[in-house]
Amino acid sequence: MAKIFISYSRQNSKFADDLFEALKRLGHDPRMDREDIKGGDDWQKWIEQNIREVDYMVVLWSNDSA
Domain ranges of the chain: 3-59
Q: Is the pLDDT of residue 29 over 80?
A: yes
The span from the CA of 41 to the CA of 32, in Å, is 14
Tens of pLDDT, residue by residue over 37-57, are 777 878 888 889 889 999 999
The pLDDT of residue 62: 80
Maximum CA extent, the chain: 31
Predicted TM-score of the model (pTM) = 0.82
Mean pLDDT (whole number) for 11-35? 92
Q: Is the pLDDT of residue 34 over 80?
A: no
The span from the CA of 61 to the CA of 45, in Å, is 23
Residues in contact with 31: Cβ distance below 8 Å, sequence separation at least 6, in sequence order: 3, 4, 5, 6, 50, 54
